[in-house]
Chains A and B, each alone.
Chain A
Amino acid sequence: MMTTAYSKGISRRGWLRWTVILSAAAALPGRVWGAVARPEAAFGATALDEALAALGDVPQVHEGIQFMTPDIAENGAVVPIRIEVDSGALPNVSKVSVLVEMNPNPLAASFDIPPGTEVYIETRVKVAQTCTLYAVVEADGQLYMQSRETKVTLGGCGG
């Protein structure tokens, strides 16, 4: 049996460009979404402890959270991360936050989760230097987390 070759021809990127233009034309007047409460104190915090305190309690490690980050970042400016929460193991999630320990402002993103939502988040964050990243999940008023180290290197010299 031979392998499959994957065409790099018409990409989803090209298709996306069109959909972006179309949806921009149909966009609703904005600012509605901005009204959702932004945790200003947490975003303004300049140290990890401070940011966590602003989010609430000290989070407990929870195996129901899957947190994926690269071991070594290909580009510290855009580090892809993924958070999944198993709703069976950890129900009633209301908020998911991402913290990058050594960034000037550790809180990188915060997501409000509507009731009944299966949590699957993919986004990209800046990581200024090698440090631990935290996925912090609020459920039933309690904080839970998973963490991973991501290395940011100068590169080169490999092989």
Chain B
Amino acid sequence: MHRREFHKLLGLGAAAGLSLPSLLRAQTHNSDAYHLPRFGNVHLMHMTDVHAQLLPVHYREPSVNIGVHEARNRPPHLVGEALLNHFDISPGSQAAHALSHLDYEAAAEQFGRAGGFAHIATLIKRLRADRPGALLLDGGDLWQGSATALWTQGQDMVEASKLLGVDVMTGHWEFTLGADRVMEIVDQDLDGHIDFVAHNVKDMDFGDPVFASHTLREINGVPVAIIGQAFPYTPIANPAHFTTGWTFGIQERELQEKVDEVRAAGAQVVVLLSHNGADTDIKLASRVTGIDAILGGHTHDAIPRALQIKNAGGMTLVTNAGSNGKFLGVLDFDVRDGRLRDWSYRLLPVFAELLPADPAMSDLIARIRAPFAEQLAEPLAMTDDLLYRRGNFNGSVDQLICEALMDELDAPIALSPGFRWGTTLLPGTAITMEDLMAQVAITYPAVTLTEMSGAFLKRVLEDVADNLFHPDPYYQQGGDMVRAGGLQYVISPLAQAGSRISELTLNGKPIDENKTYKVAGWASVQQLEGEPIWDVVARWLKAQGRVRGVRPNQPEVMGLQNNQGIV
């Protein structure tokens, strides 16, 4: 059957209120995808940026993920058909749905939800059965992103990840629980279960390490070092007051020293468990020697193959395992006589319908959710539109948040952060409080109403644009562009810092740099008082009743020729 015809059939089925015939699903699913014969003798499983999604989700991959300069048209900056072509993936396949935004709604109906800890648990048990000694590594952003994670201060995810069998992790959003809470979890809950490693978090005064830098484990007789690299710009991208007295940074030189140290201590395989973001990891891999693989996260890029990055010492693999529990990376090394001979990497999409739920994990998740059942299920509105966030510019979810802010705070302009987390809702579903929290569950949720000059507004946009499009990835922060409500602008990603934004207008009138504008926002890095964003948006959604015809406010993008990171 042609994809187009199939698409049409789906449309008719949906219009008639029918669910998809299960036969059709069975034909298109392939459960053998999860049978991965053992390779080599050192086995690492990697997940990252789960953002506390215990249950299966939809998560639309971006249609705009622009790469500039060296990153242009190179993974992960390929979207849609360019991505499928590059990795030789058939359109309409499971993999195409997992990795791209193409035919999103139809494919989401066809293949169902992804991830979910009960399903990941089953997959991990299967893989462990064939891979004795395998370690499960988590790249951070594990304890934040859901209502229950926020309401239990990360405890739900700590319990679930212990039951899942996470062996080693590093962090980013974890730190927004505050330094004291992080240390409490690390000292009391993780001790003896999960090694929290981060070589690049130090005491500000003397440079003393806050966490263990690495762990040295023996896998089938082979000593393997796993060094942790926490998100280097945590106190800049998130409020610094959560980590007072700690300093972060990429710390390339210190990393090289650490790699040399663990090699001298006998490590035959060295892996960096990184929350740098893909482009930073690619640059790092080209400059630091002696690392066999960087298992990366932060930028939520699902890269189906390991990238081989050359450096003065040889070659380092760089992988990135997507987000929200949608993927599990499996890296096998063949190490004999102290030497790494060969490797194999697979990025497995986790389709919940193909992996039965693990009963013990299902029970734990039910126990976690039970006390909050009523709040989680509270209906706020129906949506006729696809609601998603990920992409360099406004997603439809951000548009709703901006409109809620402008209406509720009576401001002509709203700014909303360019987070890369936040799940996707299909048309025709109810938006519950739990769905809203998956977009906004942070520990600094206050909404703000600020007076900004036109000049300052431009500076804000320029500042964030530089964090996204700086030619050197070490100067990027890994968030997407700030979401703008009311404001229209033109962006030239290749222009110099300070000159990327032009033609700022509000309702068709140019923004006057000397005039003052009321701007609604949330998630300020300053310590400010205000109503939590979820109350504001929930109130607005209830008043709307139904969401339809949402048009994400997109800037006009200038100066990109044949860029495969934008459709």
| Interfacial residues, chain A to chain B (CB-CB below 8 A) | 1-6, 8, 11-13, 68, 70-75, 80, 130, 149, 151, 153-159
Is the pair B236, A72 in contact by a Cβ cutoff of 8 Å?
yes
With the chains together, A153 CA to B234 CA distance in Å? 13
Is the pair A159, B475 in contact by a Cβ cutoff of 8 Å?
no
Contacts of A75 in B (CB 8 A): 235, 240
Q: Is the interface of A mostly helix, strand, loop or mixed?
A: loop
Is the pair A71, B474 in contact by a Cβ cutoff of 8 Å?
yes
With the chains together, A156 CA to B176 CA distance in Å? 12
Apart from the given pairs A6-B211, A159-B298, 8 other A-B contacts in the complex at a CB distance below 8 Å: A1-B216, A3-B215, A13-B206, A70-B249, A74-B235, A153-B466, A156-B525, A158-B477
Contacts of B238 in A (CB 8 A): 156, 158-159
**A159-B215 in contact given A6-B210, A153-B463 (Cβ < 8 Å):** no
Residue among B217, B236, B298, B497 facing the most chain A CB atoms (10 A cut-off): B236
| 470-520 of chain B: CB within 8 A of chain A | 470, 472, 474-475, 477-480, 482, 497
**A5-B187 in contact given A154-B463, A157-B417, A159-B141 (Cβ < 8 Å):** yes
Within the complex, the shortest CB–CB distance from B42 to chain A, in Å, comes to 16
Output the nearest chain B residue to A75 by Cβ-Cβ distance.
B240
User: What are 19 A-B pairs at a CB distance below 8 A?
Assistant: A1-B217, A2-B192, A2-B195, A4-B212, A6-B208, A6-B209, A13-B206, A71-B472, A73-B236, A80-B247, A151-B466, A155-B237, A156-B238, A157-B482, A159-B141, A159-B172, A159-B237, A159-B420, A159-B479
Residue among A13, A70, A130, A159 facing the most chain B CB atoms (10 A cut-off): A159
Is the pair A5, B418 in contact by a Cβ cutoff of 8 Å?
no
Within the complex, the shortest CB–CB distance from A71 to chain B, in Å, comes to 5
With the chains together, A109 CA to B218 CA distance in Å? 49
Is the pair B467, A74 in contact by a Cβ cutoff of 8 Å?
no
B248 at interface by CB-CB < 8 Å:
yes
| Interfacial residues, chain B to chain A (CB-CB below 8 A) | 141, 172-173, 183, 186-187, 191-192, 195, 197, 203, 205-206, 208-212, 214-218, 231, 233-238, 240, 247-250, 253, 298, 417-421, 459-460, 463-464, 466-467, 470, 472, 474-475, 477-480, 482, 497, 523-525
Within the complex, the shortest CB–CB distance from B136 to chain A, in Å, comes to 16
Output the nearest chain A residue to B226 by Cβ-Cβ distance.
A3
Contacts of B248 in A (CB 8 A): 74
Contacts of B206 in A (CB 8 A): 12-13
Output the nearest chain B residue to A4 by Cβ-Cβ distance.
B212
Within the complex, the shortest CB–CB distance from B115 to chain A, in Å, comes to 19
